[in-house]
Chain A
Amino acid sequence: MPTQSIFDETIATLQKTLNAGSLRHKVLTSNIANIDTPNYKAFEVVMEDALKRNNRSAGPIELVRTRPRHLSGRHSSSSPLKIKAADSQALNLRADGNTVDLDRTMGKLAENTIMYRSAAQIIKKKFQGLKNAIQGGSK
Chain B
Amino acid sequence: MDFFDALHVSSSGLSAQRLRMNLISANLANMNTTRTKAGGPYRRKDPVFAALAPSRSQSHEASFREMLGNRQKEHLKEVAVVGIVEDSRPPIKKYDPMHPDADGNGYVAMPNINLMEEMVNMISATRSYEASVTAIKSAKDMALKALEIGQ
- Listed stretches B5-13, B88-96, B105-113, B119-127; interface member: B5-13
* A110 and B19 form a contact (CB under 8 A): no
* B150 and A125 form a contact (CB under 8 A): yes
* A104 and B15 form a contact (CB under 8 A): yes
CA distance A106 to B7 in the complex (A): 10
Q: On chain A, which size bracket covers the interface?
A: 10 to 19
* A104 and B143 form a contact (CB under 8 A): no
Q: Could you list 14 examples of A-B contacts with CB < 8 Å?
A: A89-B55, A89-B80, A90-B81, A91-B80, A91-B82, A93-B23, A104-B12, A104-B15, A107-B8, A111-B3, A111-B4, A114-B140, A114-B147, A125-B150
In this assembly, does A117 line the interface, its C-beta being within 8 Å of a C-beta of chain B? yes
* A104 and B11 form a contact (CB under 8 A): yes
In the complex, what residues of B have CB within 8 A of residue A106's CB?
11, 14
Task: Known pairs A103-B18, A107-B8; list 20 more (Cβ under 8 Å).
Answer: A49-B57, A89-B55, A90-B81, A91-B80, A91-B82, A91-B83, A91-B84, A93-B23, A102-B18, A103-B15, A104-B11, A106-B11, A106-B14, A107-B7, A108-B11, A111-B4, A111-B7, A114-B4, A117-B144, A121-B147
In the complex, what residues of B have CB within 8 A of residue A114's CB?
3-4, 140, 143-144, 147
Main secondary structure of the interface of B (DSSP, over half): helix
The A-contacting residues of B in range 130-151, CB under 8 angstroms, are 136, 140, 143-144, 147, 150
In the complex, what residues of A have CB within 8 A of residue B82's CB?
91
A102 to chain B, nearest CB (A): 8
Give A residues with C-beta under 8 Å from B: 49, 89-91, 93, 101-104, 106-108, 110-111, 114, 117-118, 121, 125
CA distance A110 to B15 in the complex (A): 15
B14 to chain A, nearest CB (A): 3
In the complex, what residues of A have CB within 8 A of residue B144's CB?
114, 117
CA distance A14 to B61 in the complex (A): 24
A128 to chain B, nearest CB (A): 10
A107 to chain B, nearest CB (A): 3
Name the 8 nearest CB pairs between A and B, nearest first: A107-B11, A103-B14, A91-B81, A103-B15, A114-B143, A104-B11, A107-B7, A111-B4
